[in-house]
Every structure is written in C-alpha cells, then in structure tokens.
Amino acid sequence: MADNHFRQQVMPRYQVSGASLYLGGALHPSLSPPYPPVQLALKNFNRHGLIAGATGTGKTKTLQGLAESLSDQGVAVMLMDIKGDLSGLAAPGAEHPKIDERHQRLGRPFSPAAFPVEFFSLSQANGVRLRATVSEFGPMLLAKMLGLNDTQQGVLAVLFQYSDQQQLPLVDLQDLKSLFLFAQQAGKAALEKNFGRISPASLGAMLRKVSAIERQGADIFFGEPSLDIYDLLRQRSTGQGIISTVRLSDMQDRPKLYSTFMLGLLAELHATLPEVGDLDKPKLVLFIDEAHLLFKQATAALLDQIEYTVKLIRSKGVGLVFCTQRPTDIPEAVLSQLGFKIQHALRAFTAKDRRNIRTSAENFPLSPYYSVAELITQLGVGEAMVSALDEQGVPTPTVHTLLQAPRSRMGVLRPEETQAVIQQSALVARYQTSLDRLSAHELLQQRMTQLIGEPENQADSAGTQPAHEAPAWWESMSKNTLVRQMGRTIAREIARSLLGALGTRRR
C-alpha cells in the first residue's frame, strides 16, 4: 500500500509528456529496482536551478550529466570550469563495475559517449580568448562592479558621455585610466565648461579602484576582439548543442575578475538576445560552478544587478544553474528565483554545519515520505534530493534520487587531447590575436601633445620671439605643475613606445 501511495502521489509529478531530461530513479524504502524515473521538463530550464553539496559528494558529476543531456536535446551549454575537471566531456567515458551496478538499479544501459566541446579561456591558457570592451560594459555596470558611490557613478557617466561625444573609443583599462588622467589635467577646463566641476578626489578614488581590479588580471579581460554572444548558441551539424567550457582553474584566487567576467557576460546576454518568452527548450543554459566566488566580494549594488538579471534573463531563453557547496552561499533574493534544486550530501561536523543543514532543508518542500534534514546527512555519492517544477510550473514534491552516471569521461583530458580539441576549433583563430586599434589612450595622448605644442607653433609663425630667449608663454607654462606633470606623462609614453619597438608590448 505504501508503495502504491508513493507512486500515485509523487511519481506522476516527475512524468513529463513533452521534452524532458532523465535525471535518475526515485529511492524510497517501499521501492525496489528498477526505480521509477525522475524527469525534469526541458522547457523549465530557463527558470534556473541549483546544484549544492559538500566536496566529494558528486555535484560536479551531476552538472556534467545535465550538460550532456541538454547537448543531446540540441541546447547550447556554457560551463564555468573552476576546478578544471570538466574537460572530460570531450571524451567518452569508460565502463566500470560500480557504474554498471548503478544503471542496473535504474533499469537503463550505460552508453559511453563524447560530446562537442569548445574550450574558452580568460587568461593566456590555450583556447578561445574571452574579452569585452569597456564601452560594452557601460558606465552603470562598470560603476557597480567597481563599487562606486553615487557621486563617483555620476562622474563616470559624464566621462562616458564625453568619450562618446569626442569619439574616444574605450576599449581596455588603459583607455579608461587615460580618460581619468585627462579629466584631471589637460581636459579639466573643457569638462568643467560642459559638465560642471569634477572633483579630483573622485577621479583619484576611481583610478585606484580600476588599478585594484587590474592587479587581479582584469586588464586581460578588457580588450578586442570582444566575444560575439551568438558564438555561444551554436549546434553541431548532428543537432547536438555545443558545450562551451570556460577554463577558470587560475581564477579561484581572483574572485573580482571572475565576478567581473560573469556580470559582463550576463549583461551582454540580456542586452543582445531578443525577447522570446517561454520556449519549448532554452537557447542556452549557463552552469556557474563554485558560484560562491561570484558573490564573495560583491557589493550591495552588484548583488542588486545580479538579482535583476536573473529575474529577466529567462525571457531571453537563457537558464542559469548555480553550483556551490551550500544553498546559503547564494543570496536569498537569487535563491528564490531558482526553479529546481538538486541537493547532495552535507556533513554535520560542527554546530555551524548543523545550522546550515537545517537552513538547506527548509529550501525543500515538506514531505511525509522523508525527514529532509536527516536525509541530507545520509545521502551517498551519486544520490541527491530533488525538487523541481512540473510541466505546469508547480513545485514538485521532494524526492530522494539515484542519479545516472555521466556518459563522458569523469576526469580531465590529457594535454595532447586538449590540444587536439583546440586545433579543431573554428573560433580560436578569430579570437586568439588581440587587436590594438587607435582608441582613447592614443587619441588623448595626441591631444595633450597638441595642447603643449600649439603655443610654440604660434610663436614660430609670428616670428616675434628672439631666438636666444625663451618665449614668455613658455616661461609661465614651465612653472605650471600641471604642465610639468603632463610632460612627464608624455615622456613615459614615448619611452614605452620605444620599448614596444624592442619587443615589450602594452596590453
């Protein structure tokens, strides 16, 4: 009777008539193998999700399995591979007695397979280079990323407006810093005439904040050619969605750069893709592994921006899946937007751990079939608690699930295998070489040179100054601290240009 009651009350909520992803089989003391299937409706993947669990409980393998299933359904996938252990998606898995035993319990065969993978990189690592320009970020997003106050946000907006009016392309952080210095020095009068007084203290504080993110490597991210978002939505000729894997193993000690990249990517997706409403399947599902790094150093304004983007990006056909150790790593405002939750085991070693377990259990619907708080500590590897949305968008009951194993390799590729995948890429050649076109840094440098050189030219043309005497205007300017500072700046840039000719290249 208990068996029938569980099957009648719980399992129909996980049976999907349309396109679906098979997650695994339901576990309950009243059930025996083969376990009834737990399915997730494909059309609900743009409602976002969460994969949580302690280290070593299998959450990354769950992410890997979901990426495989989405690819088979023709959905493009993007993975943030922080630990560097998702490259195995490009190679078929290997049969193993434990995998065979698990799939026998599920009543499904295990079929190893490789999947179409494109490797991306934020650093100098091999793969498609990811970049964006400062102009594409825009003043509002950049201000929130830098944690600027209201006054500084206003100054940044004015400077962006000035750069647009004067046709000064802001490509990289050097362009932005040059604009700050120009506003402090040679361009001060022109800016004050058109926009009012700009505080030197504000400009100095903003310059220091840009330098802070530059030290974390953000100068690598800002530049050209910038990523075409539609390159993330590709399919293979067979109809499989391509899995774009961003290699971020060197980003764990640079959370500011990681959060900068993620915020820029979400904003670009939201700004570029058209409104499509609820599709039968999403255009792109973005998996954010080690998601706590995204929120670790985020300001309140940045969290507001992330919450806003999470709410609205689903209408663009984009789904977000956060992968982290504890649900409490995700802000409540974001957590409340997540349509499905897959919870792996948590361990109660300390009093704080026990509080976290109680909080995690409260994120799942109450169940007469399980003690959720107790079950979280007893889950084995490859097992999880699941709650999702059914086809009508109603939350499903909590179910203890034995997950199917990934069909691709559960391990990293060898270096030669990684290189072989990269060599087959159609995007590497397009994005690998950075462009250093004429932008704000060079144009402002020319303007400062002209401002210093114009009086001298006028004096020569007039012919009124004795050859053996310094002109009167030069004597007055040489005493000006601002002019001396500008001269030193120009001298440094000339030295950098000479060094560039000898092989030292400015980023």
pLDDT (0 to 100) of residue 451 = 64
pLDDT at 489 over 50: no
What is the distance of C-alpha 507 from the center of its chain?
A: 22
**pLDDT at residue 485, as a whole number:** 47
The answer to whether the CB of 141 falls within 8 A of the CB of 263 is yes
Please give the Cα distance from 40 to 147 (Å, whole number).
Answer: 39
Higher pLDDT, 367 or 293: 367
Other CB atoms within a 10 A radius of the CB of residue 239 amount to 10
Kindly report, residue by residue over 61-111, the tens digit of the pLDDT. 999 999 999 999 999 999 988 877 899 999 999 989 999 999 999 999 999
Q: Which residue has the higher pLDDT, 32 or 255?
A: 32
Nearest to 6 by CA among 398, 387, 382, 340: 398
Task: Specify the range with the lowest mean pLDDT, choosing from 69-78, 89-98, 169-178, 346-355.
Answer: 346-355
21-130+227-324+402-432 folds as Rossmann fold (3.40.50)
Percent of the chain exceeding pLDDT 90 equals 39
Q: What is the pLDDT of residues 294-338, one digit of tens each?
A: 777 666 767 787 888 888 899 999 999 999 988 888 888 888 889
For residues 302 and 322, what is the distance between their CA atoms, to the nearest angstrom?
17
pLDDT above 70: residue 148: yes
Phi/psi at 62 (nearest 5 deg)? -65, -45
Question: Which residues, 6 or more positions from 282, have their beta carbon under 8 angstroms from its beta carbon?
Answer: 42, 43, 45, 46, 75, 317, 318, 319
Identity of residue 27: L
Distance CA 393, CA 404 (A): 24
Average pLDDT value over all residues in the chain = 83
Listed in order, the ranges of the chain carrying CATH 3.40.50 are 21-130+227-324+402-432
- If we measure between CA atoms, which residue out of 327, 273, 283, 336 comes closest to residue 307? 336
The reported pTM is 0.81
Average pLDDT score over residue span 151-178: 91
Structure tokens at 207: 């310059």
The confidence score (pLDDT) of residue 466 equals 42
How many Å apart are CA 174 and CA 437, to the nearest integer?
A: 13
Task: Write the DSSP symbol of residue 43.
Answer: G
Q: Is the pLDDT of residue 112 over 50?
A: yes
Q: Identify whether the C-beta of residue 438 lies closer than 8 Å to the C-beta of residue 144.
A: no
- Summarised one tens digit per residue, pLDDT across range 450-483 is 766 554 444 343 344 444 444 443 344 444 444 4
Tokens 């699930």, located at residue? 401
- In tens, the pLDDT along 380-408 reads 988 999 999 998 889 999 999 999 999 99
